[in-house]
């Protein structure tokens, strides 16, 4: 498998999509998506751009030629991010507000020398 096929499969699965769902969303055939994922066919630039836009990523990341800090997250953080991305907007806002509030409370409770070193 080439880097593009690996990354396309990764992004599709990260979003919880089947090949057919992705194909429908970007107006391509399922067999074309399958061929890309299996390394049997390479997309043209316009298709790469379409898929990168769909997954809200850079073409170089989709090609596997640039690092994506998302891949280096610890498992628990990656799971949190995946769950956040899959949640409806109302839940995302509530989760963001809760975490922001908790982080602010945690900062208030740190010893003074710890907060000055971080700032």
Residue 28 reports pLDDT greater than 50: yes
For domain 3-67, give its CATH number from 3.40.50.720, 1.10.760.10, 1.10.260.40, 3.40.640.10. Answer: 1.10.260.40
| DSSP conformation class of 73 | S
| Domain boundaries along the sequence of the chain | 3-67, 72-118
19 neighbors 34 (Cβ within 8 angstroms) = yes
Please state, in angstroms and rounded to a whole number, the distance separating the CA atoms of residues 105 and 117.
18
Residue 11 reports pLDDT greater than 90: yes
Q: What is the mean pLDDT of residues 77-83?
A: 78
Q: Is the pTM of this model over 0.75?
A: no
- Report in angstroms the alpha-carbon separations of 92 from 12, 65, 83, 86, 98: 21, 30, 9, 9, 10
Please state, in angstroms and rounded to a whole number, the distance separating the CA atoms of residues 49 and 67.
18
What pLDDT, in 10s, does the model give residues 83-109?
887 888 899 899 888 988 888 888 787
Measured on CA atoms in the order 20, 22, 28, 34, is the torsion positive or negative?
Answer: negative
């Amino acid at each position: 498998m080439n880097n593009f096929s690996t990354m396309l499969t990764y992004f599709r699965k990260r979003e919880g999509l089947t090949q057919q769902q992705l194909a429908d969303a970007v107006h391509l055939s399922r067999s074309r998506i399958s061929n890309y994922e299996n390394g049997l066919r390479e997309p043209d630039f316009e298709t790469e751009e379409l898929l990168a836009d769909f997954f809200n990523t850079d073409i170089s990341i989709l090609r596997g030629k640039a690092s994506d800090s998302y891949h280096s997250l610890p498992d628990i953080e990656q799971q949190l991010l995946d769950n956040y991305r899959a949640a409806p907007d109302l839940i995302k806002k509530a989760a963001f507000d809760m975490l922001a509030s908790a982080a602010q409370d945690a900062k208030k409770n740190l010893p003074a020398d710890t907060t000055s070193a971080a700032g």
